[in-house]
Structure formats: structure tokens, C-alpha cells
Amino acid sequence: MKKKILVTGGAGFIGSHVIRQFVNKYPDYHIFNLDKLTYAGNLENLKDIEDKENYTFVKGDINDDAFILDLFKKEQFDGVIHLAAESHVDRSIANPTEFVVTNVLGTVNLLNAAKHIWKDNYEGKRFYHVSTDEVYGSLGETGYFTEETRYDPHSPYSASKASSDHFVRAYHDTFNMPMVISNCSNNYGSYQFPEKLLPLFINNIRNKKPLPVYGKGENVRDWLWVVDHARAIDVIYHQGKQGETYNIGGHNEWKNIDLIKLLCKVMDKKLEREPGESEKLITYVKDRAGHDLRYAIDASKLSEELGWEPSVQFEEGLEITVDWYLNNGKWLDNVTSGAYQQYYEDQYEKR
Ligand code: NAD
Ligand code: TYD
């Protein structure tokens, strides 16, 4: 019997990379992709593997308890890798409740289904919850988030992810649910919806539109190539210790404005524009409310215990990423039509 793994949110940015990696690397597993296909979910992200024998897409909502329980009953999954979530901080400021529903209640609903179906027979089973470094709050100029850092979320997004992490741990402590959690830093790479910093700015430079930098652009993020995140998820899913948390990060901190200037330089070169042309698009706009100053991850537990390290340097990863968006202009045009236009107006016209 093939091992069956349920990946939730597999049509999104990180989920599609996880699915691609697992489907290609593990022909002995059957990978199920459960996704509601919200604005952020796109089956085009998986075109290259959609016909593989060991892959099945299931359209559904993690909040639909009857549907989820039926799916667990029917397929008897060996493991769950849970990525489905509302994931954009600015949207969470505009509509916090949606984040509680999907990220907190949706996670609890999946835990209930796993608990019900696995009963107390947890041999070979695993519930892997994919989370974010944003649960730890904001750092000053120095220091790193470790697995022991106290949770201190500030945005409705990070508060909802923190809450979901607590529920996963509570199911472990109360019901012996076999689980692991990972908390990762900012990802970049192909197939990211252009509401997040890098794909948004790549698309705007491409279309010669203003680059809206929040505040003074002094906030710092630690950037990791999405393929390396998917590699870490693979390692942790297979070798992580039951009940443990692993931080994942790139040791790659960038002040937003420095990152944006580097991106402008790379784009000028790729688009054969005059040096400095894209930088002229930089426009400082009103800061994000509750904007965390700095995120930085100490990933030494993952590297020392499980031997994971990032595989590419940032400059190389950024070039690969820019090339991908420039070669996939149609993907960008498709996802930025329709409802996206309205979103863009709501977020930025008033700033
Ligand atoms: P994304 O927004 O690109 O994708 C989310 C996916 O979840 C979409 O395909 C969407 O259709 C699906 N989804 C949303 N609500 C659903 C529901 N109710 N039922 C079923 N499917 C639903 O997000 P992402 O950036 O790929 O993030 C994936 C996970 O990784 C999230 O849990 C996020 O918190 C976490 N994470 C993201 C980052 C990052 O930099 N993007 C960093 C660390 C952790
Ligand atoms: P984002 O990609 O939304 O990720 P997160 O908020 O989860 O870290 O934003 C990354 C950084 O870029 C963050 O400090 C906010 C900033 N930012 C801008 O300056 N302008 C923008 O239009 C966006 C979307 C983000």
C-alpha cells in the first residue's frame, strides 16, 4: 500500500513547491492536494505534475467539518502537511475574522478529523503544521528567534498563526497527537501571489508602476528560497522528532529598502533599462499598522539535528526568481486580472 499524505493549501505558493517536491521525489507516496482555491490558490502552479499517477487534487474547504471527516474516512491518510491558510498581513488588518476562521478554526477542524480517524493508533502517523516566524513578534537591532523565544504576535495574521500553533501543541499534550511544527522566515520564489513584496515589486517594475515602500523601508526580513523551505519540510516530515518545533531560516537579513534597490538593479539589467531607471519608481507610502521591525531566525537546531542547510545564496536565488517572473508574464497577467484590481485599489489608492 502506498503511503497517503494529505497536503492542505497545495495550490498556493509554498504548498505547490511542497507538492512538486514530494510527488517527484516519492513515487511510493500518494499525495493528495486539498485546496479551496481562494484568490491565492491556483492550479496553474502545478501544471507540470498534475498528470502524475501519485497525485490527486481535491477541491474543498478545511472548515467544512463533514467534508473533511469523510475525506479522512475514505482515504485513511498516514500523514498531513498543513499549509492552507490566509497568509497576507495587510489582508489580516483589513479583515481579521477571516484569519481566525481559516487559520485557527480550520486547523482545529483538521486536528479533530485526524484524531477521530487515527483514534489512539498513532503508529506511523504524523500531523505537520507549517507556521511562521511572525508568531515570535519583532526583534530589535540584534538577536535571533530560537524555538524557545516567547510568542508575541502583533498582527491579526501572526496572532491567528500563533493560536493555531498552540492548538496543535495542545492536541499533542492532551490527546498524544503525533505532531511537528516548523516556523519559517519570509519565502521568495516562483508562483508567489503578487501581493507580497517581491512578486508585487517585480510586477510593478515590469509595468513601470510605483513601488510602494511602507514607512522608511527600514524593516528587516530574513529571506529564504521557497525550494529550500520545501526541502526543510521534507526533512522535518521524515526525521523531525515527535512533538518538536523547528525554526527554518536563511541567515539572510535584508532591510526592505536595500532589498528593493538590489531588485531594481537586477531588473534594470534584465530588462535592458538604464541603470537607476527602476529606482525612480520607489514611492514612500504610509507605514503598515503594527509593522514588525525585524525578523531573524536561528535555524541551528534544524541544521545540527537534521543536517538541513539552504542550498542557494540569495543573489543567485533572486536572479532565478526574477527570470521566472519575466519568463512567466502570462501567469502574472492572469493572476492580476479581475478581483486583484479591486484589491490593489483598496490597499494602495488610499495610502
Ligand atoms: P498562500 O496564500 O500562497 O496559499 C494558501 C493556500 O491555502 C491557497 O492555495 C488557498 O487557496 C488555500 N486555502 C486558503 N483557505 C483555505 C481553506 N479554508 N481550505 C482549503 N484551502 C485553503 O500562502 P503561502 O505563502 O504558500 O503560505 C503557506 C503556509 O506557509 C501558510 O500556513 C503560511 O502561514 C506559512 N508561511 C508562509 C511564509 C511566506 O513567506 N509566504 C513564511 C512562513 C510560513
Ligand atoms: P510581505 O511580503 O507582506 O511579508 P511580511 O509582512 O509577512 O513580512 O512584506 C515584506 C516586507 O515588505 C514588510 O516589511 C512589509 C514591506 N512591504 C512594503 O514596504 N510594501 C508593500 O507593498 C508590501 C506588500 C510589503
Tell me: the pLDDT tens digits for 94-113?
Answer: 999 999 999 999 999 999 99
In whole angstroms, give the CA distance from residue 113 to residue 92: 26
Tell me: the pLDDT tens digits for 292-344?
Answer: 999 999 999 999 999 999 999 999 999 999 999 999 999 999 899 877 777 77
**Under 8 Å CB-to-CB from 29, ≥6 apart: which residues?**
2, 3, 4, 5, 22, 54
What Cα–Cα distance (Å) separates residue 31 from each residue in 2, 3, 15, 131?
Answer: 10, 8, 12, 20
What is the atom index within ligand 2 of the atom nearest the CA of 291?
Answer: 14
- Model-level pTM greater than 0.75? yes
Q: What is the pLDDT of residue 276?
A: 98
- Residue among 18, 175, 41, 170 at smallest CA distance from 107: 170
What is the atom index within ligand 2 of the atom nearest the CA of 217?
Answer: 19
Question: Which CATH number, 3.40.50.720, 3.40.50.1970, 2.30.40.10, 3.40.50.970, labels domain 3-189+223-253+290-312?
Answer: 3.40.50.720
- Nearest ligand to the CA of 223 is 1
Pocket of ligand 1 (CB under 6 A): 8-9, 11-15, 35-38, 40-41, 61-63, 83-85, 87, 102, 106, 130, 132, 161, 184, 186-187, 193
- Residue among 288, 66, 81, 290 at smallest CA distance from 197: 288
Give residue limits of the domains in the chain: 3-189+223-253+290-312
- Nearest ligand to the CA of 260 is 2
Q: Under DSSP, is residue 164 helix (H, G, I), strand (E, B) or coil? A: helix
**Under 8 Å CB-to-CB from 72, ≥6 apart: which residues?**
6, 113, 114, 116, 117
- By DSSP bridging, strand 253-255 and strand 220-225 are antiparallel
**Ligand 2 atom 22: residue of nearest CA:** 212
